[in-house]
């Protein structure tokens, strides 16, 4: 299973969404998962993971999810290779048992163009970083995801789900 995850905050509360699918090219999820998080800590520059990691781990535990891959909105390594970001902290929290791929929409200071990919006709790159998977393979996975625009369909879906307030339809 591949699991795309996104987190959204409203003041000090939030919602974590996960979209599960079998193949990188899938257009529709096999299942969706949503969990609420309360009393999210304040944003601290350079420690973004402290805000998002507990909610992601809660979602994984609550639904007993054991994906092969997790795709996050953000960086695994802030500099591409050594400075840990949310994805590296997630990879470590899962004891390296799940491959983590980060897809960031904006460049982090010092990230090189070696981590950029262009999807569709977009002139704006996505920045790919990974743990447990070779960068070249991680880039190919994201390039092969369904959708003709910059953001793959599954990543758009999980972003939208993380922003919903109220009930969410969970397919069987």
Q: Is the pTM of this model over 0.85?
A: yes
Question: Model confidence at 12, in pLDDT bands (50, 70, 90)?
Answer: confident
Domain range annotation of the chain: 2-163
Above 60 in pLDDT, residue 166? Answer: no
The residue among 18, 20, 19, 51 whose CA lies nearest residue 37 is 51
pLDDT band at 170 (very low <50, low <70, confident <90, very high): very low
Q: Which residues pair with 124 in a beta bridge?
A: none
Local structure of residue 77 (DSSP, 8 states): B
CATH superfamily of 2-163: archaeoglobus fulgidus dsm 4304 superfamily (3.30.2170.10)
């Amino acid at each position: 299973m591949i699991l795309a995850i996104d987190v959204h905050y409203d003041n000090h509360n939030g919602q974590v969404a996960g979209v599960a699918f079998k193949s990188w090219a899938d257009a529709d999820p096999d299942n969706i998962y949503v969990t609420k998080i309360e009393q999210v800590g304040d944003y601290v520059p350079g420690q973004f993971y402290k805000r998002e990691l507990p909610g992601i781990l809660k979602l994984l535990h609550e639904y007993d999810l054991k994906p092969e891959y997790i795709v996050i909105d953000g960086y695994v390594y802030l500099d591409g290779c050594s400075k840990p970001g949310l994805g590296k902290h997630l990879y470590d929290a899962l004891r390296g048992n799940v491959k983590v791929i980060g897809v960031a929409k904006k460049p982090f200071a010092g990230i090189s163009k070696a981590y950029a990919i262009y999807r569709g006709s977009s002139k704006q790159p996505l920045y790919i970083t990974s743990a447990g998977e070779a960068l070249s393979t991680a880039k190919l996975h994201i390039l092969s995801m369904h959708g003709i625009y910059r953001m793959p369909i599954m990543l758009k879906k999980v972003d939208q789900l993380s922003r919903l307030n109220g009930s969410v339809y969970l397919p069987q």
